[in-house]
Every structure is written in structure tokens, then in C-alpha cells.
């Protein structure tokens, strides 16, 4: 790999990481605004419906895993 190719790849990876970090910031801000409805009773083996808060937290965890492996 030539130096120019290496630098192009490094720049591309840097932009990818910056994009993921920006997504992470947006998701964390959304998680802080999302509330949990604790009035609903959960039953084991239920419908499997997820809350907006749960969806955001799952996305945050997945994105953090991607950032670690990048």
C-alpha cells in the first residue's frame, strides 16, 4: 500500500468515526429526552413491544460496540 492510499484510507476511517460519534451524541441527547412509561405492566412472554427509551438505548449500545471495533 502506498503512502497516498494509506492516507486516503486513514482520512476515510476518520470521517467514519466522526460520523459514528455524531450519531452517538444525537442518540444520547434523545435518550435524555425520552421518558419511560412505568404504568404498563410487563408480563413474562408478553407481546415483546419495546419502548422508545429501550430502542434508543439499544442503538447507543450497538453504536458504541461498532466504535470500539473500528
The pLDDT tens digits of the residues spanning 3-58 come to 999 999 999 999 999 999 999 999 888 888 866 666 666 656 655 667 777 888 88
Q: Looking at residue 1, what is its pLDDT?
A: 75
Q: Looking at residue 8, what is its pLDDT?
A: 95
CB 53 within 8 A of CB 14: no
Model's pTM, two decimal places? 0.63
Amino acid at each position: 500500500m502506498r503512502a497516498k492510499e494509506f492516507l486516503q484510507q486513514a482520512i476515510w476511517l476518520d470521517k467514519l468515526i466522526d460520523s459514528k460519534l455524531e450519531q452517538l451524541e444525537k442518540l444520547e441527547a434523545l435518550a435524555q429526552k425520552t421518558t419511560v412509561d412505568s404504568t404498563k405492566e410487563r408480563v413474562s412472554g408478553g407481546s415483546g413491544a419495546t419502548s422508545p427509551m429501550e430502542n434508543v438505548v439499544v442503538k447507543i449500545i450497538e453504536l458504541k460496540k461498532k466504535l470500539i471495533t473500528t
